[in-house]
Amino acid sequence: MSTDEKYMKYCLDLAVKGLGHAAPNPMVGSVVVYEGEIIGEGYHEQFGQAHAEVNAILSVKDKERLKKSTLYVNLEPCSHFGKTPPCADLIIEHKIPFVVIGSIDTNSLVSGQGISKLAKAGIDVKVGILEESCKKLNKRFYTFHEKKRPYIILKWAQSADGFIDVKRHEESTAKPIQISNSDSKKLLHLWRSQEQAIVIGTNTALLDNPQLTVREVEGKNPLRISVDKWLRIPRHFHLFDQSTPSLIFTSIDEPSKNNLEFIKINFEKAVIPQLLEELYKRNIQSLLVEGGELFLNSFIEEGLWDAARVFISEKELGKGVNAPVLKQKPVVRENISGDKLLYYLKEE
């Protein structure tokens, strides 16, 4: 690993600390190096607050050293005024002579303009260090800006013999079967805290009455979403409790309330693209899909997914609702206290 790669790797280690907090901004880490020593570091800690470069520069005690330093950052410094001033301007103001960047920002508000501004100020700019790793870290951000939709993660738990549930119906009083174990459930709640939104279909809402929150871990609840064409979900169910922001996609005109919004769509057209278009408008960059067989298969059949996480329990159900099937091999396998966890990435 070269010197530049070593410091860029450290930027990535800092950046990932912003997972679940920086969105819809990207995760960014930055270090300032003077004569082979890190004299400043920072990351984008919270959306709306200072960016990584700002935190790194402000952490340097002797600002005169900045004039002979190299600033490393995993994403191109911004060049526009948003919730905070442009990072490129601060770098120029402190006369930092060298800047090493992991990847270019494909957001149209930046996209090369930060690099251009630095170069015009006489700064020596190097781009593309650990570029693939930098893009992988901010896959949600890149997917959102390049595909005009959120990064979509499918999740389900299935029995050892390939079922995600027993056969149930709306009038049934049978409780949902917990297929995965308690450690897997805790991990799922961690994932929820890391994504901006979570969605289920009507059947899952009716049968399970899920809370879709992060009760098992500390963190922010995702935006809760359900599709309910005829508004069949009972109003005393968790989705309607107004405890956390929730969206219901329906065919019926219904007034919205605090933390509960009804969005009318055309069910004669494909539902998922309409849902994703609305989330794009709302700057939602990641979506966790936790629906049942039909809902999950709809995303798979339309090719609208980026990753999948599948728990396989040691339990057997014998019969029931078939689990979705992905026609590719998992990229990673883990063991979660007896549950198998398979990670998939959609092949382009």
If you ran DSSP here, which 8-state letter would residue 266 be given? -
The dihedrals phi and psi of 261, each to the nearest 5 degrees, come to -125, 135
CB 289 within 8 A of CB 153: yes
- Give yes or no: 53 in active site: yes
Structure tokens at 9: 């790797």
DSSP 99-130: EEEEE---STTTTTHHHHHHHHTT-EEEE-TT
CB 273 within 8 A of CB 303: no
Residue among 86, 115, 113 nearest 102 (CA): 115
Q: At what angle do helices 271-281 and 293-301 cross, to 10 degrees?
A: 80
Beta bridge partners of 91: none
Of the residues 35, 41, 53, 64, which is catalytic? 53
- Amino acid 322 reads N
The dihedrals phi and psi of 296, each to the nearest 5 degrees, come to -65, -45
If you ran DSSP here, which 8-state letter would residue 60 be given? -
Looking at 119-165, which runs of residues are DSSP E strands? 124-127, 151-158, 163-165
CB 223 within 8 A of CB 245: yes
Q: Residue 298's Cα: distance from chain center in Å?
A: 21
How far, in Å, CA of 329 to CA of 334, rounded?
A: 14
Determine the number of helices (DSSP H) and then strands (DSSP E) in the chain: 10, 16
Task: Give the residue numbers marked as catalytic.
Answer: 53
